[in-house]
Amino acid sequence: MGNHITVQVRKSKVEGLDAAAWLGELFVELCRNTSPVWGSVRDDKEYWTKVMTESPVVSAIGRDFGKYLPGLFWMNFLGKPYVNLIEKSRLASTPSLTVQEIDEGLCLKLYEDPFKGSESLNRKSEEKARQHIGVQYFFQRENKAQETASPWTTETSRN
């Protein structure tokens, strides 16, 4: 998928709001205005841990939208193709801090602080959400032979 927006926040407050609250509001507004297929808000360290490899070359091994989503992060937007594939009721009942319907998609906020994705409790929240939604929709570094599903495949595929 083509477009990317990167925002680096280096202050504890932005426009009078806590940085996390400001990021959350910005993400919801962007999703409302653009209705993406997928989007996320995450810390770079979390993304690199889940999706990237550095050996033998730097590569985004977990970024193949034809097979799966790269993972679940602090905030996640799943647009219409994923709502249709996974089912709205399943996504809406995902164990998370908040679930918000935006346009034809759903926004899931898994835990309170985007800068603490590696903390044990947050990793557990993320795993519960992934298990509920279905592991086949997400890249799993530890399971290269996993069966996967995406809106762009008509049947489950094996990596």
Per-residue pLDDT reduced to its tens digit, 42-84: 876 766 566 546 666 555 555 565 676 888 989 999 999 999 9
Residues 27 and 29: their CA atoms lie apart, in Å, by 5
Assigned domain for 4 exists: no
Q: Which residue has the higher pLDDT, 101 or 150?
A: 101
Mean pLDDT of the chain: 83
Predicted pLDDT of residue 139: 73
| Percentage, residues of the chain above pLDDT 90 | 49
Residues 62 and 38: their CA atoms lie apart, in Å, by 14
- pLDDT beyond 70 at 157: no
Assigned domain for 48 exists: yes
| Percentage, residues of the chain above pLDDT 70 | 76
Show the domain range for 58.
Answer: 13-158
Q: Which residue has the higher pLDDT, 142 or 64?
A: 142
Nearest Cα to Cα of residue 150 among 56, 70, 47: 70
Assigned domain for 5 exists: no
Assigned domain for 17 exists: yes
Report yes or no: 67 and 155 within 8 Å, Cβ to Cβ: no
Predicted pLDDT of residue 158: 47
Count how many domains the chain has: 1
Nearest Cα to Cα of residue 103 among 74, 75, 73, 80: 80
Average pLDDT over residues 21-28: 96
CA angle 129, 64, 24 (to 5 degrees): 45
Assigned domain for 74 exists: yes
Q: How confident is the model at residue 159 (pLDDT cuts 50, 70, 90)?
A: very low
